């Protein structure tokens, strides 16, 4: 009977994803937001319709779905894209991270938070939601210099964010000191890059040979699951591993005509479950714990993204009205931020409740409201016919 309930639930969830997709098309809302709201209504915060056995799969499903997203974002770091928009990608991603941590941390210190806690919250605010960003870009149907640059930014900004977060833990007073934190960050990020190279180099040469020009479905699934599993085995970032494999394949597999076509086909069913279960896992009650501190935190993050996007676009040589669109387009925030909050809470137990409450509450807000803003920025850029980013 339990198996029957699980299968029925999965069937209903997939069909709900189809309904959300169609409803999003009619209302011009991102299907990400529709799926999150459906999950929220069906989860514990709503009618509690999703069996616990299905909810328990969330971690595994999210790892597979996010690894697929990382592959596709890594594919955005092609030689051609980096030659065209590399300066803008690097400048905007770095500027947004730096401005976010400076402005959010500084603002929270001014309203009375301990400097260490404010610094950690500022570092957490740098994280984005690669899955939501990637799906909104795909749903928009736009493929232009603006969306290409966004994909490149999303592919690397969480890497900068994790580095900044590691530094923030030290500056906030972590007793382990610089050496241990640098070693941990080096293992997590550096190890992921090495693993990505080890997997990506043979994948670039071997995949796409049986069916000339395009990897088969089994090849795509095999590489994704192998990358995610080995990253977990070696305790390195599966996001960075997937991104590295994707970047290696797109740059070295010259015999591929559509290197990521099968992953794109496979991705949507996993994304349906990912966003529905993510919505079911949202803790809405955390919103009632926000208070003025949480509201100010979220306002500061919005302002920081906007200013950081402007500064980075200026440094990156972006011309025209595009400069004001990058920051708001990068508002979505999700799992990476919660992961940072868990680590910070373990490191500083005295601040754990404050860190988790603020992070979870802001994640609920930015995960639901961020994607519509991203989609609006993409459509606004398309209507304006703005000048694309300058060549680096």
Q: Which tens digit of pLDDT belongs to each residue from 291-308?
A: 788 889 999 999 999 999
Average pLDDT over residues 22-27: 70
Q: So what's the pLDDT on residue 101?
A: 93
Q: Which of 12-16, 55-59, 110-114, 363-367 has the lowest mean pLDDT?
A: 55-59
Q: Which two tokens stand for residue 347?
A: 């490191």
Of 77, 61, 72, 78, nearest in space to 220 by CA = 72
Give kind and range of the element (H or E) at residue 175: none
Give residue-wise pLDDT tens across range 149-202: 898 888 787 778 877 887 787 777 655 555 665 666 677 778 888 999 999 889
> 290 versus 374: which is more confidently predicted?
374
Average pLDDT over residues 91-98: 92
Domain chopping of the chain, boundaries: 2-384
pLDDT exceeds cutoff 90 at 337: no
> 318 versus 285: which is more confidently predicted?
318
Burial-class residue 210 by CB neighbours within 10 Å (0-12, 13-18, 19+).
exposed
What SS3 state is found at 387?
coil
Total H helices, total E strands in the chain: 17, 0
pLDDT exceeds cutoff 70 at 273: yes
Q: So what's the pLDDT on residue 106?
A: 94
pLDDT exceeds cutoff 60 at 319: yes
pLDDT exceeds cutoff 90 at 128: no
Q: So what's the pLDDT on residue 92?
A: 92
Q: Which two tokens stand for residue 152?
A: 């490149």
pLDDT exceeds cutoff 70 at 287: no
Task: Calculate the alpha carbon distances from 275 to 34, 65, 71, 367 in Å.
Answer: 9, 10, 18, 10
Q: So what's the pLDDT on residue 105?
A: 94
Q: So what's the pLDDT on residue 389?
A: 45
Q: So what's the pLDDT on residue 213?
A: 58
% of the chain with per-residue pLDDT over 70: 84
- Tokens 């730096």 label which residue? 98
Max avg pLDDT among 98-107, 170-179, 258-267 = 98-107
| Fold (CATH) for 2-384 | Na+/H+ antiporter like fold (1.20.1530)
Rounded CA separation 297/331 (Å): 13
pTM: 0.74
pLDDT exceeds cutoff 60 at 85: yes
pLDDT exceeds cutoff 90 at 275: no
pLDDT exceeds cutoff 70 at 279: yes
Band of pLDDT at residue 214, cut at 50, 70 and 90: low
Phi, psi of 11 (to 5 degrees): -60, -45
Q: So what's the pLDDT on residue 112?
A: 87
pLDDT exceeds cutoff 90 at 96: yes
Of 160, 153, 158, 129, nearest in space to 325 by CA = 153
Band of pLDDT at residue 390, cut at 50, 70 and 90: very low
Task: List, as one string, the DSSP characters of 359-381.
Answer: HHHHHHHHHHHHHHHHHHHHHHH
Q: So what's the pLDDT on residue 173?
A: 62
Phi, psi of 129 (to 5 degrees): -120, 90
Q: So what's the pLDDT on residue 12?
A: 84
Residues 6 or more apart in contact with residue 351 via CB below 8 angstroms = 114, 116, 117, 120, 344, 345
Task: List, as one string, the DSSP characters of 72-124.
Answer: HHHHTS-HHHHHHHHHHHHHHHHHHHHHHHHHHHHHHHHTT--HHHHHHHHHH
Mean pLDDT, all residues of the chain: 80
Q: Which two tokens stand for residue 8?
A: 């029925």
Q: So what's the pLDDT on residue 392?
A: 40
């Amino acid at each position: 009977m339990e198996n029957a309930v699980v299968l029925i639930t999965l069937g209903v969830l997939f069909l709900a994803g189809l309904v959300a997709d169609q409803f999003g098309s009619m209302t011009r809302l991102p299907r990400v937001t529709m799926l999150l709201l459906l999950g929220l209504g069906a989860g514990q915060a709503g009618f509690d319709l999703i069996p616990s056995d299905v909810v328990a799969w969330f971690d595994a499903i999210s790892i597979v779905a996010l690894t697929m997203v990382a592959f596709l974002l890594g594919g955005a770091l092609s030689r051609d894209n980096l030659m065209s928009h590399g300066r803008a990608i690097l400048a905007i991603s770095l500027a947004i991270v730096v401005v976010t941590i400076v402005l959010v941390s500084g603002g929270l210190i001014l309203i009375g938070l301990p400097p260490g806690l404010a610094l950690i919250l500022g570092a957490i605010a740098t994280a984005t939601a690669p899955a939501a960003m990637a799906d909104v870009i795909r749903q928009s149907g736009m493929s232009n210099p603006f969306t290409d640059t966004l994909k490149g930014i999303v592919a690397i900004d969480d890497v900068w964010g994790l580095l900044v977060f590691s530094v923030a833990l030290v500056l906030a007073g972590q007793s382990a000191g610089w050496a241990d934190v640098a070693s941990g960050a080096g293992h997590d990020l550096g190890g992921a890059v090495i693993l990505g190279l080890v997997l990506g180099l043979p994948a670039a040469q071997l995949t796409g040979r049986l069916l000339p020009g395009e990897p088969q479905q089994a090849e795509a699934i095999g590489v994704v699951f192998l990358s995610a599993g080995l990253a977990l085995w070696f305790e390195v970032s599966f996001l960075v591993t997937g991104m590295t494999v994707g970047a290696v394949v797109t740059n070295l597999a010259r015999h591929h005509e559509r290197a990521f076509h099968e992953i794109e086909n496979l991705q949507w069913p996993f994304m349906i479950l990912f966003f529905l279960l993510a919505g079911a896992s949202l803790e809405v009650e955390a919103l009632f714990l926000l208070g003025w501190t949480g509201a100010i935190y979220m306002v500061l993050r919005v302002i920081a993204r906007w200013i950081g996007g402007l500064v980075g676009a200026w440094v990156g040589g972006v011309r025209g009205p595009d400069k004001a669109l990058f920051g708001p387009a990068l508002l979505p925030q999700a799992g990476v931020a919660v992961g940072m909050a868990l680590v910070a809470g373990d490191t500083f137990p005295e601040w754990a409740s404050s860190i988790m409450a603020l992070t979870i509450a802001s994640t609920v807000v930015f995960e639901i409201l961020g994607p519509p803003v991203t989609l609006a920025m993409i459509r606004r850029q398309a209507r304006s016919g703005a000048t694309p980013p300058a060549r680096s």
